[in-house]
Amino acid sequence: MGLLLLLGVFALCVIIGLPVAFALGIAALAAFFHEGLPLLIVFQRIVAGINVYSLMAIPFFIFAGELMFHGGIAIRLVRFAQNAVGAVRGGLGIVNVFSSMLFGGISGSAIADISALGSILIPVMKDKGYDADYAVNVTVTSSIAGIIIPPSHNMIIYALATGGAVSISKLFLAGVVPGILMCMCLAVAAYVIAVKRGYPAEKFPGWTVLVLSFFSAIPGLLTAVIIVGGVLSGVFTATESGAFGALYAFLVTILVYRSITWSNFKVAVVSAVRTTSMVMILIACAGAFAYMLTFFRVPKLTIDFLTGLTENPILILLMINGVLLLLGMIMDMAALILICTPIFLPIMNTLGIDPLQFGMILLVNLGLGLCTPPVGSCLFVGCAVGKLPMEKAIRTIWPFYLAIFVALMLITFVPAISLTLPRLIG
C-alpha cells in the first residue's frame, strides 16, 4: 500500500502540472507519513542528497557552458565545422552534427547546444535551401551529444546515484567513444536524407581558411581539454576542474575573443543560477524519493519481476532499454537518473554489466527521450528556435531516431565501446 501511495501521489502531482522536483518531495513526504517514519529522516535524506562535495562541480560546468553560449564560442565552432565538412552533399546537416559534438563537449548541455547552435545554423540551413523540418530534426537529435560527450553534469549526477560505484573520471572516458559513435550514426542519417532530398553541397573554402578557422576555435575547445584533462590527470578534482574551466571560459570570452558584453554576462549568470537551482532542488527531493523506493524494496521487486519473465540477458537488456526510453519521454532526465539508477543498477550487476556501460546506456536512452514527445524538452526548444510546428518535425524525425537507436544497441551489446578507454587510461 505504501508503494502504491508513493507512486500514486507522484503521478498525480505530475499530471496536475507540478514541477517534477516538488512531485518527488510531496510523494516522499506522503509515504513517510503513511509508514509512520520520523519526519527528521525526510530532511536528513533531502540534505544528504545535496551534501556531496562532487556536486559542487555542477554549477561550475553549467556556468562555463553559459559563458560559452553567450561569449561567441559557438559561432567559431560552427565556422570551423562548416569549413571542414561543409563541402559534402548536404554538408550543413553534417556540420550541424559535428558542431554539436564539439560544442557538447564544452557545454555539457543539450538545451544549451540547441539554443546556441540552433539559433545560428537553422536560419543558415533554411537560406541555403534546406527544409525546416530537416534543419530542426538534425539540431534536436544531435544536441544530446552534450549529455554523453564529457564533461557532462549528468554524468556527475549518475556517479552520485551509484553511491560511489563509479568514478567521474572513468565516466568521462567512457562517454567519449559512445558520443562519437552516436554522432557518426546521425551524420550518416543526415547525409542519406540530404542526398535523397537533393540538398546542395557547399564550396570548400581552401586549406588556409580551414586552418585559420581551426586556430580561431582552439581557445574555446581548450575549455573541454582543461576540464576533462584536469580530472583524468589527477591534477584537479571534478569540482576544482569545473571551477578552473569556468574561470578559463570567462578569461577567453573577455580577453581572447572579446565578444561578451556586460548584459550578456548578466544573462549567463542568471541562467546558470536558475539552472543550478533547479538541478539541486531536484537532486535533494529525489534523494528522499529514492530512499522510499529502497525502503519498499523496489530494486529487489524489479529484479524478481524481470527474471520471472525471462532469464535471457538479451531480452532483459531490451526490456530495460524500453522502460528507460518510455520514462525518458515523460519525465525530467536528472530525476530519472536518480530514480532509475538504484533500481536497475543491481539488475545490471547480476547480468555482469559494468556500471560504466550502464551509465552510457542510461544516458543515451534518456537523451533520446528528450527528443521525443510528449515532454521532450529538446524537441520543444528546437521547434521554437526553428519556428516549426512540432507535428511537422515529428513526421520526418524517425530516421534520426533510428540512427540513435542503432548507436544505443551497439553500446548495449558491445561493452568495449564504453569500457576500452577507461581500462586503457583510467
Cα(155)–Cα(145) distance, integer angstroms: 13
Which of 90-99, 123-132, 363-372, 375-384 comes out lowest in average pLDDT? 375-384
**First and final CA of the chain: distance in angstroms?**
45
Band of residue 156 on the pLDDT scale cut at 50, 70, 90: confident
The residue written with cell numbers 537518473 in the block is 337
Cα(411)–Cα(426) distance, integer angstroms: 19
C-alpha to C-alpha distances, 21 to 157, 211, 280, 324, 401, nearest whole angstrom: 15, 47, 9, 19, 28
What per-residue confidence (pLDDT) applies to 104? Answer: 66
C-alpha to C-alpha distances, 242 to 58, 152, 236, 283, 360, nearest whole angstrom: 8, 10, 9, 19, 21
Question: For 121-126, what is the mean pLDDT?
Answer: 79
**Contacting residues for 40 by C-beta, under 8 A, at least 6 apart:** none
The residue written with cell numbers 543550478 in the block is 276
Cα(30)–Cα(39) distance, integer angstroms: 11
pLDDT at 83 over 60: yes
Can you name the residues that pair with 201 across neighbouring β-strands? 89
What per-residue confidence (pLDDT) applies to 68? Answer: 75
DSSP code of residue 372:
S
Band of residue 106 on the pLDDT scale cut at 50, 70, 90: low
pLDDT at 101 over 70: yes
Q: In 10 A of CB 269, how many CB atoms?
A: 14
Q: How far is CA 12 from the centre of its chain?
A: 27
Q: Over the stretch 375-402, which tens digit does the pLDDT of each residue have? A: 667 787 788 778 888 788 888 889 999 9
Q: Over the stretch 128-155, which tens digit does the pLDDT of each residue have? A: 788 889 988 998 898 888 788 887 778 8
What per-residue confidence (pLDDT) applies to 227? Answer: 75
Total length of the chain: 426
Cα(293)–Cα(285) distance, integer angstroms: 13
What per-residue confidence (pLDDT) applies to 426? Answer: 57
Surface-to-core class of residue 144, CB atoms within 10 Å of its CB (0-12 exposed, 13-18 middle, 19+ buried): buried
pLDDT at 202 over 90: no
What per-residue confidence (pLDDT) applies to 67? Answer: 80
Q: DSSP labels for 182-199? A: HHHHHHHHHHHHHHHHT-
State residue 234 phi and psi, 5-degree precision: 85, 5
pLDDT at 342 over 80: yes
What per-residue confidence (pLDDT) applies to 185? Answer: 93
Q: Over the stretch 276-296, which tens digit does the pLDDT of each residue have? A: 887 788 778 877 887 888 788
Band of residue 203 on the pLDDT scale cut at 50, 70, 90: confident
Q: Over the stretch 23-68, which tens digit does the pLDDT of each residue have? A: 888 888 888 888 888 777 777 777 776 776 767 777 887 787 778 7
What is the reported pTM?
0.82
Q: Over the stretch 222-274, which tens digit does the pLDDT of each residue have? A: 777 777 777 777 777 777 877 887 888 888 888 887 877 888 888 888 888 88
pLDDT at 413 over 90: yes
Report the range out of 83-92, 300-309, 315-324 with the highest average pLDDT.
315-324
Question: For 60-78, what is the mean pLDDT?
Answer: 76
Nearest to 352 by CA among 305, 317, 315: 317
Cα(356)–Cα(358) distance, integer angstroms: 5
Surface-to-core class of residue 365, CB atoms within 10 Å of its CB (0-12 exposed, 13-18 middle, 19+ buried): buried
What per-residue confidence (pLDDT) applies to 354? Answer: 92
Band of residue 107 on the pLDDT scale cut at 50, 70, 90: low
Cα(139)–Cα(137) distance, integer angstroms: 5
Cα(174)–Cα(1) distance, integer angstroms: 40
Cα radius of gyration (the chain): 21
Q: What does the mean pLDDT of the chain come to?
A: 82
Domain boundaries, the chain: 2-425
Cα(260)–Cα(75) distance, integer angstroms: 13
